[in-house]
Amino acid sequence: MAMQRRSRQRDAILKVFEVKGAHPTAEEVLSEVRKEIPNVSLGTVYRNLDQLCEAGMIWKIQMEEGPCRYEGNPDGHLHAVCPICGEIRDVWPSGDPIARDSLPEEFAEAEYRLLLISPCERCRPNA
Ligand SMILES: [Zn+2]
Ligand SMILES: [Zn+2]
Task: Flag whether 55 is in a domain.
Answer: yes
Q: Is residue 127 part of a domain?
A: no
Residue 10 banded pLDDT, cuts 50, 70, 90: very high
Q: For the segment 41-99, what is each residue's pLDDT rounded down to a tens digit?
A: 999 999 999 999 999 999 999 888 889 999 998 887 899 999 999 889 999 988 888 88
Q: What is the CATH number of the domain that holds 27?
A: 1.10.10.10
Rg, Å, the chain Cα set: 17
Q: Is residue 12 part of a domain?
A: yes
Using CA of residue 3, residue 9, residue 45, residue 38, what is the dihedral sign? negative
Name the percent of the chain lying above pLDDT 70: 94
85 is in an annotated binding site: yes
The whole domain housing 107 covers: 78-117
Identify the band that residue 16 occupies on the pLDDT scale cut at 50, 70 and 90.
very high
**CA pair distance 51, 110, nearest whole angstrom:** 24
| Bridging pattern class, strands 88-91 and 59-61 | unpaired
66/19 same-domain check:
yes
Q: What's the gap in Å between 107 CA and the centre of ligand 2?
A: 24
Could you tell me if residue 18 is inside a domain? yes
Neighbouring residues of the ion ligand 2, judged by CB less than 5 Å: 71, 90
Flag whether 120 is marked binding: yes
Residue 1 is predicted with a pLDDT of 45
